[in-house]
Amino acid sequence: MIDLEQVTGYACGAVQETAAFIRAEAGRVMPGQIEEKFLNGLVSYVDKTAEEMLVERLSAILPEATFITEEETVVQRTSNLQWIIDPLDGTTNFLYNIPQYSISVGLQIDGDLVAGIVHHVPADELFSAWKGGGAWCNGHPIHVSNRGEMRQALVSTGFPYHNFSRADQWFSVLRELMREGRGVRRFGSAALDLAWVAAGRFDIFFEYGLNAWDVAAGAVLVREAGGVVVDFSGGDDFIGQREMLACNKDVSEKALEIVRTHFDSGT
């Protein structure tokens, strides 16, 4: 039986070591050291080295675990025990010296997300959670907001940047949330957006075109902080569907109604 609190604590140490490396490299990456994996998808040696560091350290914690990682520096295999890693969520921000990027590490057992860590590297804020253990930021408990009306809700999202197949629906949701809510923010790191929902800074997060490594850790944070995490149909397949709505429970029904209406109708 895995002690999730202990494993999460060890993993936090691995994440902090990796964060120190990323922080030291900020502002030092040269243009010739940047690759474009796909449209607007940038990567550098910092992402790859950070991922290698995490894989090495996490392998020592759970030698039997496999990995799903963004940069694929390790063989990608599915198993009943799996780390899901984004070594640098918000690479474009990092490369443009915008201090809004994070490390995201999730743990999945038998398809169930059971632990999550998100580290806001520039601010040195470490968000962590494990199933049944609550959510924490730098050792202090956190909880989703209790703002119960849509007109009070601060919304975060991610703009479509390479997958525009559902952009019309996304804009329709955004337009309605702009009218109904208090405002919209887009900072460029989905993992950090979710951590901030868990901490009560944002009330709603929605985005499509997401990968498992973008949201695995953040989903655990939000749920353990008392929030709701669903796909756009209100189900639990947000990783398979590559879409997510995360929010506090008080605004979840209205937020889901808005998202479902526009994405189901295609308008």
Which CATH number is 216's domain given? 3.40.190.80
Q: Is residue 73 very low, low, confident or very high in pLDDT (cuts 50, 70, 90)?
A: confident
Tally of domains within the chain: 2
Asked if residue 93 has pLDDT above 90, the reply is yes
- Strand spans (E) along 81-123: 81-89, 102-109, 112-120
pLDDT, tens digit, 9 for 90 and up, residues 182-207 = 999 999 999 999 999 999 999 999 99
CB-count burial class (<10 Å; 0-12, 13-18, 19+) for 136 = buried
Looking at 107, 141, 175, which one is the last position of a domain?
Answer: 141
Q: What percent of the chain has pLDDT over 90?
A: 84
**Token pair of 88, please?**
């640098």
**54: which DSSP letter?**
H
pLDDT in tens, 129-149: 999 999 999 999 999 999 999
Residues 136 and 159 grouped into a single domain:
no
Is 72 in the same domain as 120? yes
Place of tokens 């899901």: 84
In this structure, are 21 and 132 located in the same domain?
A: yes
pTM for this one? 0.94
pLDDT band at 114 (very low <50, low <70, confident <90, very high): very high
Residues 209 and 134 in one domain: no
pLDDT digits (tens, 9 = 90+) for 151-174: 999 999 998 877 889 999 999 999
- What confidence score (pLDDT) does residue 266 get? 57
Alpha helices in 26-138 (DSSP H): 45-61, 91-95
Structural domain that includes position 201: 150-265
- The answer on 202 and 87 residing in a single domain is no
* Residues 10 and 109 grouped into a single domain: yes
Q: Are residues 190 and 95 in the same domain?
A: no
8 A C-beta contact, residue 123 and residue 136: no
Q: What is the CATH number of the domain that holds 133?
A: 3.30.540.10
For residues 131 and 231, state if they share a domain.
no
C-beta separation of 15 from 7 below 8 A: no
